[in-house]
């Protein structure tokens, strides 16, 4: 459901830092976005130096961009808290200044996962019951 892509320079993030980012994003989305943690997906997207620019300049080595595609239905206040907390907690997880972490929260109006169209926020339990047991087992829920 919520899918967060963390873009960073190749080899910038160590395994422990990635783990800390995954844990922060998962917990923050569950708390602020009101979705079960087992639905939060985090993908790391390393970009080689020289392939990422802002204002026609190579971005600094510490730059991290997090794009979160989430279902509609969250208030502006919830989305602001998602952005603020992810900026602060992911910066702390890596040991960088918050100005290097950019967070975009994007409403994804219609999506499907596990072979089924996603439900509205709060209706996940019924939706999950309708997913085949072998599919649930594959992903650990």
pLDDT, tens digit (0-9, with 9 covering 90-100), for 62-81: 999 999 999 888 999 999 99
pLDDT given for residue 44 in this prediction: 98
Question: Would you say how long the chain is, in residues?
Answer: 141
| Residue found by looking up tokens 């089924």 in the block | 116
Q: Where are the domains of the chain?
A: 3-139
Mean pLDDT for all residues in the chain:
93
Q: Domain 3-139 carries which CATH code?
A: 3.30.429.10
pTM: 0.88
Q: Give the tens place of pLDDT for each residue, 39-63.
A: 899 999 999 989 999 999 999 999 9
CA distances to 33, 67, 69, 70, 138 from 104, in Å: 14, 5, 8, 10, 29
């Amino acid at each position: 459901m919520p899918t967060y892509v963390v873009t960073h320079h190749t080899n910038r993030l160590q395994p422990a830092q990635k783990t800390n980012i995954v844990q922060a994003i998962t917990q923050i989305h569950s708390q602020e976005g009101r979705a079960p943690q087992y639905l939060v997906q985090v993908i790391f997207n390393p970009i080689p130096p020289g392939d990422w620019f802002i204002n026609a300049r190579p971005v600094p080595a510490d730059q991290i961009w997090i794009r979160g595609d989430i279902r509609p239905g969250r208030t502006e206040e919830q989305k602001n808290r998602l952005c603020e907390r992810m900026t602060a907690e992911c910066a702390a997880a890596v040991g960088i200044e918050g100005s290097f972490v950019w967070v975009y929260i994007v409403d994804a109006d219609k999506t499907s996962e596990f072979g089924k169209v996603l439900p509205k926020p709060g209706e996940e339990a019924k939706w999950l019951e309708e997913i085949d047991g072998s599919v649930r087992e594959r992903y650990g829920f």
